[in-house]
Amino acid sequence: MAQKLSPNEIRDITALLEAGKPLPEKYRFALFGDSRNIELLWDGKTNAVTDVNLPFQVIEQVDEPRSEDVIQQQFGLFDNLSGRQLKGWSNKLIWGENKFVLSSLRSGSLREEIDKNGGLKFVYIDPPFDVGADFSLDIEIGEDRFTKEPNVLEELAYRDTWGKGTDSFLSMIYERLIHIHNLLSNDGVLAVHCDYRVNSKLRLILDEVFGGEGCLVNEIVWRRKQAQAWSTDQFGNTTDSILIYAKGDSYTFNPIYSIEDENTQKYIKERFVYDDGDGRKYMKSPLVNPQPRPTLRYVYKGINPPKNGWLYSQKRMDELFEKNELVIPSDPNARIYRKIYANTYQGQMVQNIWLDIPIVNPMADERVDYPTQKPEALVERLITAFTNENDLVADFFIGSGTTLAVAEKMGRKWVGSDLGKFSIHTARKRLITVQRDLKKQGKYWRAFEILNLGKYERGLLIAKHTGLESDSQIAEIQKQKDNTFEQLILQAYSAERIENSPVFVGVKFNRHVAIGPINLPVTRLFVERVVEECRRNGFTKADILAFEYEMGLFPNIQNEARNVGVDLQLKYIPRDIFDKRAVQAGQVKFHDVAYIDVKPIVKGNLISVELTEYSVGYQQDTVEGAEVEVKKGDSRVVIDQGQVVKIEKNKEGIIKKTQLTKHWSDWIDYWAIDYDFENRKEIVNVKNEITGDPEAKWTGDFIFENEWQSFRSKKDRKLELVSSAKEVRVGDYKVAVKVVDIFGNDTMKVVTVKVGK
């Protein structure tokens, strides 16, 4: 309840307000009540959260990791180990901004499916808590590496997260935590990975979101490394924290025992001293009852009983003796021991300080060279503790997909999302590898789907437009769009500006130019509006310039435009656009979406595919710029007009140029085939404008069913260029080939194949 203010206090407060000055902290509780609940406040804090319901589109499904030989066509029902998964939960890998993903999961059609599968039992997130983090990636090409810089969307997301320092990070994570808390089942648990920089603040936020300190289950302290560089002014920071919060009191907890921690290892080393002849080591455990039991005081096998009696009855001792589980000493006064084998010894129960899980070893099979990658053992321990088999696990900052890979191996269902295309692609390869391993072992796996977010719900028309406003707001934002930004792009593209068009902003020769949003990918709806504007005005040629394109957009959208008389070119805006000097010098080069060519091979009723060509026009720096900027004795790898070139400058300043892309296939990281692409339509649930009820709608696209794939891994850099054959019936088939390059960008080609005609 607010305190009564004196006349002088009222006068002082009024004077401060009229002068536009902040009120002293002493007036906070006097004005707004004497509520002493602990709360973390920061500049920009608001309880408002994103509230949208965007439809999810399945653009790819992977449920058979691949057959090595001929893929036998199966007509009829399939089981989960031999073919298509026809029913049940399919795991979800979602590309998109996680606040939109979470909001749409929370209130969309997938929420019902999640609830039917028991709800989210466990969520692990490892958000970007390092304000100085470098999110560039080292990518292998041939026998060399080059550094891939973050794309514009990733850079903008990072700027949104850390643009105002800790305040903006807290605003970002606060909104996500509210959504996650809502999505969790009543017996669900959240684990948030962080370090010393945000630990204390996250504790307070989590207390607020989950309803108080009583919801804190544990703060895990993980020693991620044993030592770091010497410091003269502080102790080394070698630990991270994992904050565990439960939504209710009835959460799952499975105690974990470890033989890996230092104390247990010492214990085992001292006591596992015998070998049973078959290579199994065991430790000797004294059979002494901790409490005196006179009834068990008998002589066993000629051995004098200990003063406290035997631990077991004579019958039990006989059973252990028959099983060769007793160590009988030659000295009748010595103790009898029972053998406890190392592989059955549980060890000590794990506590909240974890010293036994090292960071990912550079040579480990699980390592994918992804920044901030966490060890599988760490996530496995968390999932083991807080879930049971078939429970649903989620991660909304998946990075390289560690949580999803571990969940798949452990028989859990999963949902994962990330904004980065490269992240989604890395996770896809990793999960297919897990599926392959499970298949070899004869174990069960689930299909997983790759989804896009919301391409049919809203139009994305301009750079500053978020894509989530009402039609009236769109019109208003359209008037306020950033002319300077568009003018910079048009100048770099050598196009002239035009006015009074709802879609086009420029023209280059006889081609009209549209520019996609700066902060979101170009969607199908955006492209459809461009094509429709062309048809309405009689334009036959148009270019779309964008930083990012929605997954699965190519090549259908260009074919559809061509069918209605529009020559549509889709081009990437290079990062160099933000360098005004490069723009003024005419050095900015826009590159087309990648070109691929394939050769179908038909023998009888068998189809296979050969990948015959792939070309890109990527640009990341220039050879000329690197020659000037690289220091003597140093080197730099650049991408100039679709070629990767290494620039080396020796101590005398002499430059050596080496082209690393020796073959077009060097650009390819992954490719996959759907032998019958038009077999499955892409259906989404959208709201009926009249009734408001959800209704199924065909988007006009098809779902890519991934039946065969070849990709490079850290251990194996080879890439097959001819697929296995698939047995099919006589008929015409649309065969789709999807290629993902070393940047994680995908493109697709569809060819018609006639079989048996």
Tell me the mean pLDDT in the region 404-427: 93
Evaluate if residue 271 carries a pLDDT over 80: no
Distance CA 410, CA 377 (A): 12
Does the domain formed by 471-549+555-592 have CATH 3.40.1350?
yes
Evaluate if residue 507 carries a pLDDT over 90: yes
Give me the sign of the Cα torsion angle 113, 115, 119, 120.
positive
Question: Any idea what the Cα angle at residue 622 is, between residues 558 and 514, rounded to 5°?
Answer: 30
Distance CA 651, CA 634 (A): 8
Helix/strand/coil for 329: coil
Is residue 657 very low, low, confident or very high in pLDDT (cuts 50, 70, 90)?
confident
Cβ pair 537, 436 in contact under 8 A: no
Evaluate if residue 659 carries a pLDDT over 90: no
- Residue 459: the pLDDT is 34
Looking up tokens 């077991």 gives 312
Among the four given CATH numbers 3.40.50.300, 3.30.565.10, 3.40.50.150, 3.30.10.20, the one describing domain 56-256+350-453: 3.40.50.150
Environment class of 369 (CB within 10 Å of its CB; exposed 0-12, middle 13-18, buried 19+): middle
Is residue 683 very low, low, confident or very high in pLDDT (cuts 50, 70, 90)?
confident
DSSP H/E element including 427? helix 421-440
For CATH 3.40.50.150, the residue range(s) in the chain are 56-256+350-453
Give the lowest-confidence range in 70-79, 448-457, 625-634, 647-656.
70-79
* Percent residues over pLDDT 70 in the chain: 73
- Residue 298: the pLDDT is 47
Cβ pair 247, 188 in contact under 8 A: yes
Q: State the amino acid at position 270 in one-letter form.
A: E
Distance CA 298, CA 334 (A): 15
* Mode of pairing for the β-strands spanning 448-453 and 496-497: unpaired
Tell me the mean pLDDT in the region 23-40: 66
3-state secondary structure 538-583: CCCEEEEEECCECCCCCCHHHHHHHHCCCEEEEEECCHHHHCHHHH
- Residue 357: the pLDDT is 86
> pLDDT tens, 45-73?
888 888 888 878 888 999 876 655 555 54
Q: Higher pLDDT residue, 35 or 107?
A: 107
Is residue 392 very low, low, confident or very high in pLDDT (cuts 50, 70, 90)?
very high
Is residue 152 very low, low, confident or very high in pLDDT (cuts 50, 70, 90)?
low
Evaluate if residue 395 carries a pLDDT over 60: yes
CA 710 and chain centroid, separation: 21
Helix/strand/coil for 474: helix
> pLDDT tens, 685-732?
766 767 777 777 777 778 899 999 999 887 788 899 999 998 888 999
For CATH 3.40.1350, the residue range(s) in the chain are 471-549+555-592
3-state secondary structure 240-289: EEEEEEECCCCCCCCCCEECCCHHHHHHHHHHCCEECCCCCEEEEEECEC
Mean pLDDT of the chain: 79
CB within 8 A of 756, min separation 6: which ones? 604, 605, 729, 730, 731
Question: Any idea what the Cα angle at residue 389 is, between residues 368 and 254, rounded to 5°?
Answer: 95
CB within 8 A of 246, min separation 6: which ones? 187, 188, 189, 190, 210, 215, 217
- Residue 388: the pLDDT is 95
CB within 8 A of 206, min separation 6: which ones? 177, 190, 192, 215, 216, 243, 245
Distance CA 736, CA 747 (A): 10
The pTM score is: 0.76
Is residue 462 very low, low, confident or very high in pLDDT (cuts 50, 70, 90)?
very low
Distance CA 499, CA 596 (A): 36
